[in-house]
Chains A and B, each alone.
Chain A
Amino acid sequence: VGAAEGIASASEEDALPGDSGVWLFIFADMCAFAVFFLLFTVGRAANPVLYEASRVQLDPRFGLANTLVLLTSSWLVARAVHAVRAGDRARVVRGLAGALAVGAVFGVSKVSEWVSEVARGNTLLTNEFFSYYFAFTGIHFLHFVVGMAVLAVSVAKARHDALDARFRVWVESAGCYWHMVDLLWIVLFPMLYLQRTA
């Protein structure tokens, strides 16, 4: 918990939803993605024609659908966190299980999109744009997989554990991590799919 000193003071930790150590991880991860965004922006500025010719090969409907799916899953987690605070076990389980089910749609959609890109001949080695596209969405997907595992554990815990302060911190922490997965996609969506030059 003390690891987050420098971002949150001891008195501020009480105001944090979830565990401050998880927040340290979340913020460090967001900073790592900010470096990815910098790399992409510099690459795009140096070679806008290549980036645009590559971008138009992506199907932005996948990007939008994935955005809506993650937003819905994130909202269901937010509802589950509120239910934990209200001590309503049925709503907690419903919210987390719903978030897990909707989240699975993102996994199917993302893999389908990758398969269609590879079938079109676009891989990690095609060019700089597609290297970044597969690397960034792949790293994001790893975060998504971890989040899904945490959500699955949370559903099991919500069914059996006491809805006490310890459990509240667990669900708030899991929720904030899941919202980070959503938040990073919110930036990746316009950056990769919508940045047209003409």
Chain B
Amino acid sequence: VSAAAAQSERNATRAFAALVALSAASFVLVDTAATARLAVSVALAIAALKVRLVVVHFMDLTWRARGLRLAIELWIASVTALLLGGVWLAAR
């Protein structure tokens, strides 16, 4: 097993730990925060970060596959903007 492969596997495990912590954090935050819109916005931003962690560390989709990686990054940005827009514009 190469050092790079071993490092990649360690990164996947660290990403898993971060994903679990972020999931619990967003749940607690939305449940307890006084300001709903801000808390929901943070939870949605956390979801975007989690999706990126899955893409990078579980799917192993690097920038060497530039076209697909760019398409996925645009998907994450678009979906996050859509959901955040819904949160902030709906209440106006």
Interface residues of A, Cβ cutoff 8 Å to B: 4, 6-9, 12-13, 15-17, 23, 27, 30-31, 34, 37-38, 41-42, 44-45, 48, 60, 63-64, 67-68, 71-72, 74-75, 77-79, 81-82, 85-86, 172, 175-176, 179, 182-183, 186-187, 189-191, 194-198
For chain B, residues 29 to 58, give those with C-beta under 8 angstroms from any C-beta of chain A.
30-31, 36-37, 39-40, 43-44, 46-47, 50-51, 54-55, 57-58
Question: A68 and B23: CB pair below 8 A?
Answer: yes
- Distance of A114 Cα from B56 Cα, bound (Å): 32
- Distance of A186 Cα from B60 Cα, bound (Å): 18
- Distance of A70 Cα from B87 Cα, bound (Å): 26
Interface class of chain A by DSSP: helix
Q: Mind listing 17 A-B residue pairs with CB under 8 Å?
A: A4-B68, A9-B67, A16-B65, A41-B85, A44-B90, A45-B89, A64-B24, A71-B20, A71-B23, A74-B58, A81-B60, A172-B60, A183-B54, A183-B55, A189-B47, A190-B46, A196-B40
Question: B5 and A86: CB pair below 8 A?
Answer: yes
Shortest CB distance B4–A (Å):
11
Question: B65 and A15: CB pair below 8 A?
Answer: yes
Interface string of B70-89 (1 = CB under 8 A from A): 01100100110011011101
